[in-house]
Amino acid sequence: MPRVLLIALGLLLGALAAPDARAADMETKGEALGQLGKAMAVTKRVRAEANFKPEIEPMLARARGVMIIPEFYKGSFIVGGAYGTGLMMVRQADGSFSPPAFYKVMEGSVGLQIGGQRAEIIMLLMTDKAIRAVMKDQFKASAGVGITVGVLGGNVGTGSTTEIDQDIYFFSLATGLFAGGALEGAVIQPRTDYNTAFYGQPVSPETILFEGRVSQPDAAELQTALGTNQLAPAASPPNGTPPAVEAEPETSQGAPGPAPVSEQELSAPSGN
């Protein structure tokens, strides 16, 4: 076949494939938007839970970051396993939260399990060490990485204490035989397909959370909900680049919140 015909055929095939690729991207973005909407609903539901409210509000006010897992399924098939999608956000210099970075939460298991269990989970990341650990490739929730974890919810009772002495707190609403420790052994990894589709370009969690170079209007409602009443002292952003802030967050008067998380802090050793 003449070379010119090969080139023409290649261009034709590329043109035919482009609509399919765009359709796939739109479908993936739609899935990511669906998870965002569910994360907003779970945030409202968990924060409204009477047993959680005395603890989650002061803890959220001091949290360095948050990961919301709106649907975590475990043992839903005959061959056991677990899966879910998480949205991670970190506190910015103005006291609000960053746009979300998407993560996948997975656990493989061996053996037969009957029936499905489902949990709605909010992880509050209280220290820089917790954020560093989660952002490490293939963070394992039960791994011995020097991270301390507190669990509230499921079949685990709550008290009235607001003392914060753990790196990560799990709040969960569960069905089935789940307790709050539903993420025991689960691996958390970046969800590259959702991040790329949601922001319209290949983008890493570090860029989303710390560099302030991407934003998404669809995430503004969740950012505002988490950032309301969160006041943090001004801080120099990483690399001297101001974060992208689409609108001033709604705030109320109160005690100063936590200092923002910087990318430099994540890379430095911490005693937290």
Split into its structural domains, the chain has a count of 1
Instruction: List the strands of the sheet with 187-190, edge to edge.
Output: 139-140, 187-190, 101-112, 79-90, 65-74, 117-125, 168-175, 149-153
Tens of pLDDT, residue by residue over 158-191, are: 443 445 678 888 888 876 544 445 566 678 899 9
Residue 3 lies in a domain: no
Whether residue 21 lies inside any domain: the answer is no
User: Does 220 reside within a domain?
Assistant: yes
Would residue 91 count as lying in a domain? yes
> Considering the chain, what is the average pLDDT of its residues?
72
* Single-letter amino acid, residue 117: Q
Q: Directed axis angle between helix 3-48 and helix 53-62, to 10°? A: 130
**Are the CB atoms for 106 and 182 separated by under 8 Å?**
no
Which amino acid does the sequence have at 18? A
* Domain contains 216: yes
**According to the model, what pLDDT value does residue 245 have?**
43
Tell me the residue range of the domain where 62 lies: 32-267
Confidence of residue 203 (pLDDT cuts 50, 70, 90): very high
With a pLDDT cut of 70, the percent of the chain lying above it is: 54
Residue 188 β-bridge partners: 105, 139
Asked if residue 146 lies in contact with residue 129, where contact means CB atoms within 8 angstroms, the answer is yes
Q: When comparing pLDDT for 32 and 25, which is higher?
A: 32
Looking at residue 166, what is its pLDDT?
81
Assess contact for 266 and 132: CB atoms under 8 A: yes
Does residue 42 belong to any structural domain of this protein?
Answer: yes
**Among candidate residues 170, 188, 190, the one with its CA nearest the CA of residue 180:** 170
In a domain, 173, yes or no: yes
Q: How far apart are CA 198 and CA 192, in angstroms?
A: 10
